């Protein structure tokens, strides 16, 4: 087992023989680390934390520590991480606050330096979260999202599948799937680059464009827009969009404010193929 002699590893931790633990890393007693995962220098893994295979945890990352919540009374915290994720320098992933809850990270995600995932959040697969962006507690980020740098996502918000959020945005409501969000919880268009990269068919893209017009260009209320969207059969992607809208508890992001309509939209990032 390639564990550096300066690493502090509790004897009760379960570490696969092929995993690597770097100098001065700290591994708590209830941590499980899967095959070929690399834990680099000064990383700190605590709580009831399970980490899958082929992950890369860079120097200074902190995973599984207690939630930042004044009401936390010392209950065990749980974090579950899948395979092939990258956690760059000083990423923080906090364990659960809710009794029996878990903070969940899927597969093939990329967390850039100083990104933060709050307690009881759920991050799907193939998600990129750029530098210094923050997810509050109980946030859900669905598959293939790109969250640019310095973004703040309010607790209990949801970010739908294949969403792109521009840098320095503030998200306080749900972002519907396939959209581009900007500024103060504003939807400014469809993430066409993400749709193409994900292999969404031209026919489905056309259906999503129609749904966007109903939701945003026609300035309808959400119940009225849903009534129109549900009136005729839709593609699986639009069916997913409808289900997301119907299950929203915080409401969805509004359209671009008239005061911003002369501004150029942000360019999609090429930091990682989504």
Which strand ranges, in their side-by-side order, compose the sheet holding 128-129? Answer: 20-21, 38-39, 56-57, 86-87, 110-111, 128-129, 146-147, 164-165, 179-182, 186-190, 254-255
State CA 8 to chain mean position distance. 30
Backbone φ and ψ of 117, nearest 5° = -120, 115
CA 218/CA 195 separation, integer angstroms: 23
Q: Is position 22 annotated as part of the catalytic site?
A: no
**Phi-psi label, residue 231: left if phi above 0, alpha if psi -120 to 50, beta otherwise:** alpha
Q: Give the CA distances from residue 90 to residues 27, 50, 99, 119, in Å, rounded to whole numbers and listed in that order.
A: 16, 19, 27, 17
Catalytic site includes residue 94: no
Q: How far is CA 5 from the centre of its chain?
A: 34
Catalytic residue among 137, 160, 183, 194: 137
How many Cβ atoms sit within 10 Å of the Cβ of residue 201? 11
Q: Is 120 a catalytic residue?
A: yes
Question: Residue 169, Cα to own-chain centre: how many angstroms?
Answer: 15
Q: Which of 42, 48, 94, 119 is catalytic?
A: 119
CA separation for the pair 260, 224 (Å, rounded): 25
Residues 54, 83, 108, 120: which is the catalytic one? 120
Taking the C-alpha atoms of residue 190 and residue 61, their distance in angstroms, rounded to an integer, is 33
Q: What is the DSSP letter of 217?
A: I
**What is the CB neighbour count within 10 angstroms for residue 227?**
12
Read off φ and ψ for residue 58, nearest 5 degrees.
-85, 170
| Contact criterion met (CB below 8 Å) for 4 and 19 | no
Residues designated as active site: 119-120, 137
């Amino acid at each position: 087992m390639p564990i550096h002699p300066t690493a502090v590893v509790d004897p009760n931790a379960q570490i696969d023989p092929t995993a690597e633990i770097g100098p001065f890393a700290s591994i708590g007693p209830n941590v499980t680390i899967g095959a070929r995962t690399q834990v680099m220098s000064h990383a700190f893994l605590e709580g009831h934390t399970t980490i899958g295979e082929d992950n890369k945890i860079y120097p200074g990352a902190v995973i599984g520590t207690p939630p930042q919540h004044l009401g936390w009374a010392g209950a065990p915290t749980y974090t579950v991480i899948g395979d092939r994720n990258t956690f760059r320098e000083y990423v923080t992933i906090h364990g659960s606050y809710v009794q029996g809850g878990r903070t969940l990270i899927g597969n093939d995600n990329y967390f850039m330096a100083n990104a933060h995932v709050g307690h009881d959040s759920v991050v799907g697969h193939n998600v990129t979260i750029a530098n210094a962006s923050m997810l509050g507690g109980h946030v859900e980020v669905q598959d293939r999202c790109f969250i640019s740098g310095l973004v703040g996502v309010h607790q209990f918000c949801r970010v739908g599948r294949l969403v792109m959020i521009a840098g320095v945005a503030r998200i306080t409501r749900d972002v519907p799937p396939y959209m581009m969000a900007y500024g103060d919880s504003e939807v400014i268009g469809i993430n066409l680059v993400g749709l193409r990269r994900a292999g969404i068919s031209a026919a489905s893209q056309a259906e999503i464009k129609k749904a966007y017009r109903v939701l945003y260009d026609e300035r309808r209320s959400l119940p009225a827009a849903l009534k129109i969207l549900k009136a005729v059969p839709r593609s699986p992607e639009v069916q997913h969009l409808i289900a997301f809208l119907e299950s929203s508890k915080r409401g969805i992001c509004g359209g671009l404010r008239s005061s911003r309509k002369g501004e150029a939209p942000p360019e999609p990032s090429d930091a990682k193929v989504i």
